A = this chain, B = another copy of it.
Amino acid sequence: MTAGCNCRSVEWTENMIRTISPLRANFGRCTACAVRSLSICGALDETDLVEFERIARQVHLAPSEALFSAGQVASSVHNLTAGVARLYKLLPDGRRQVIGFALPGDFLGTMPSIRYSYSADAIKRVSACRFPVDAFKHFIEQRPHFLLRINEFASRELMLAQQQMLLLGRRTAEEKVAAFLVGWRARLAHIGDERQTVSLPMSRQDIADYLGLTIETVSRTLTRFEREKMLVIVSGGVRLLDCPRAEAMAAA
């Protein structure tokens, strides 16, 4: 009922490689950061960036390695710069709810909390900037515009969470899967990975745990969508043939 490792190393799309790149020197990483404008750092000017960079540490994770785990003392906040991570909560008996997937530019900071309330680990090889909470807090407290930006990100996150509540509580399996595909495609487009084929780096188990379904139901639903010519299942993703139909399902 749980987990799903997906440790197999998957080929990198050109896009992923590009967003990972700048880790050579210890200086000027931030100014060269490909996802800066997408991330909370987009609110920082050159001067702030230099100082911000000073409190950051780069971390790199292979697939299935943990960025942090629920219950640990929350000593750091993170900014994803490359790869894909899954964020999830577990029940004592092993039931799992994936509460989201993190993409480059996403900020993972459970700020006023003493412990992480969820776990995060890599699906595809992840790079992230790690900031000690104390230094991070100190930094933002004297930069109101930055705090404002973080607030916007938190609000967006909250809206997505509420959208997901509607999906989990009131939608059918078919609607859930369609909404997931449409939503995921939009998120990939947002970070510049807009292709005909929607890449799905996460396992079927991850998708099932995200949608509150079983792996079998996800699989069957995708298969049916393929039979009905809405999409084609390809290795590592799906190619959407009938987007309007998918979007109608996701909305209705």
A contact set with B: CB distance below 8 Å: 89, 91-93, 95-97, 99, 110-113, 117-118, 141-142, 144, 147-148, 150-152, 154-159, 161-166, 168-171, 209, 211-212, 251-252
Bound-state Cα–Cα, A38 to B129, Å? 34
Question: Which of B91, B112, B141, B148 is within 8 Å of A170, CB to CB?
Answer: B91
Indicate if the CB atoms of B162 and A89 lie closer than 8 Å. yes
Count of chain copies: 2
Complex contacts, A92 vs chain B, CB 8 Å = 251-252
Indicate if the CB atoms of B157 and A97 lie closer than 8 Å. no
User: 10 closest pairs, A vs B, by CB?
Assistant: A169-B212, A161-B161, A168-B168, A97-B166, A144-B144, A112-B152, A95-B170, A97-B169, A154-B154, A168-B169
Closest to A164 in B: B165
Bound-state Cα–Cα, A211 to B169, Å? 7
Bound-state Cα–Cα, A251 to B154, Å? 26
Bound-state Cα–Cα, A118 to B174, Å? 23
Closest to A117 in B: B159
Indicate if the CB atoms of B157 and A158 lie closer than 8 Å. yes
Closest to A95 in B: B170
Bound-state Cα–Cα, A201 to B162, Å? 22
Indicate if the CB atoms of A96 and B170 lie closer than 8 Å. yes
Residue contacts A-B, CB under 8 angstroms, 8 given: A92-B252, A95-B171, A111-B151, A112-B152, A113-B155, A154-B154, A169-B209, A170-B209
Bound-state Cα–Cα, A209 to B151, Å? 29
Complex contacts, A95 vs chain B, CB 8 Å = 170-171
Best-buried of A155, A169, A212 by chain B (most CB within 10 Å): A169
Q: How far is the CB of A241 from chain B (nearest CB, A)?
A: 24
Best-buried of A91, A110, A211 by chain B (most CB within 10 Å): A91
Bound-state Cα–Cα, A171 to B161, Å? 17
Bound-state Cα–Cα, A113 to B160, Å? 12
